[in-house]
Structure 1
Amino acid sequence: MTKDSADLLTIYLNDHLAGAAGGVELLRRAAQAGRDQAASRQLHDLADEVAEDRASLMEIMRELDIPVRRSRIVLGRLGEKAGRLKTNGHLLSRSPLSDLLELEAMRLGVEGKACCWRTLRELADTDPRLDPQRLDRLLRRADTQIARLERLRGQAAVATFRAAEPKAR
């Protein structure tokens, strides 16, 4: 790996680490704010899994001698907080759209994480410091998380827009 590609990998992995930090915060907040107890429990469990995935990423970074840029993690958390300021129809309270929009954001985040695991898995073919089996496990888990988030997203979409149906005249 050239110095330039090592620098790029450092930026890439730190960006994913920042995303994971924001993702854990979003999942935990959504789990606490949720109206559906079963969905809240699933989001809490997903938050724990994403935190474990973040720890796995940090371990991989250590194995690759890639420094963790703490400032990036702080930016990830700030990004999650800034994401709360969305136009969802309510200024000071949660909107019925909040659950749906947050689930969509969470799914996109996990899709991005899966891309990171795929990238590292491809690099594992030529870098003995990367464990292909661990990356395969992380990728399978991300795929499972995506499926769970998609089910929750679909339920939230139906609940949000069914409630918004116009009344018969």
Structure 2
Amino acid sequence: MDQQLERYLNDHLAGSSGAILMIQNFAETVEHPEARDFFIKLKQDVENDRELLKRLLETAGMRSSTVLNVAGDLTARVGFLKLMWEGFEPGKLGLFEGLEMLALGVQGKRLLWLALQEISAWYPEWSDVDFRELELEAIKQRDGVEFWRIEAARDALPDIDRRTRALEKVG
């Protein structure tokens, strides 16, 4: 069972590597100062979560997997290339889809904290970790990403020229 937990924690550790890459790009490309501040803070939060995951692995006598971390980073970079092709600039599909992927990842982190809260009684070395608080923080992060995702949807999805022409024909 510990091997499965070790793999699960390593999978989340690997996923966070890709998330940091994406968040850094968002922080560098978004136009709104509020969005930039949000993504800078989110990047720091995800880096802190990575350190916590490493500590959870270590205190439970498990190891972080270099292979899984490299594989996760490589997977993230390949997916990132597709999004770059779509464009990360405001109004581009890549920004919207990237934020959607990030929202899903943050929701996955929330579910990680819920699962670890359920099994934490079997790991007394984790007694100082407030998994409920981590879950609540993940909910706030997810809601923040969702706010900016919806903003990006408004910019990227409607074809304004086509809609304007359609309205002109009706009118």
TM-score, length of structure 2 as denominator length: 0.85
Contact 1:124-1:132 within 8 A present in 2 as well: no
Runs of 4 or more consecutive aligned structure 1 residues displaced over 3 Å after TM superposition: 90-95
Change in CA separation of 1:92 and 1:103 when aligned onto 2, cut-off 3 Å? closer
Match of 1:98 among 94, 104, 111: 94
Change in CA separation of 1:123 and 1:18 when aligned onto 2, cut-off 3 Å? same
Kindly indicate whether residue 8 of structure 2 is the aligned counterpart of residue 12 of structure 1: yes
Query: CA offset at residue 134 of structure 1?
Result: 1.9
| 1:3-82 matches, cutoff 5 A | 5-82=1-78
Deviations 1:119-163 (CA, angstroms, capped at 9, x unpaired): 11000133322227521221111111011111111111112234x
Q: Secondary structure at the match of 1:141?
A: helix
CA RMSD, Structure 1 to Structure 2 (Å): 2.0
- The code of the aligned residue for 1:75 comes to A
Contact 2:120-2:126 within 8 A present in 1 as well: yes
- The code of the aligned residue for 1:20 comes to S
Match of 1:115 among 111, 120, 129: 111
Distance 1:33 1:124 in 2: 39
Structure 1 regions of 5+ residues with no counterpart?
none
Larger helix proportion of the pair: 2
Query: CA offset at residue 84 of structure 1?
Result: 2.1
When Rg is computed on C-alpha atoms for both structures, the one with the higher figure is: 2
Match of 1:160 among 156, 161, 170: 156
Match of 2:127 in 1: 131
- The code of the aligned residue for 1:157 comes to A
Kindly indicate whether residue 145 of structure 2 is the aligned counterpart of residue 149 of structure 1: yes
- The code of the aligned residue for 1:45 comes to K
Distance 1:102 1:34 in 2: 12
TM-score, length of structure 1 as denominator length: 0.86
The count of residues paired between Structure 1 and Structure 2 equals 162
Contact 2:60-2:123 within 8 A present in 1 as well: no
- The code of the aligned residue for 1:130 comes to W
Sequence identity of aligned pairs in percent?
26
Change in CA separation of 1:27 and 1:91 when aligned onto 2, cut-off 3 Å? closer
Distance 2:156 2:19 in 1: 23
Structure 2 regions of 5+ residues with no counterpart?
none
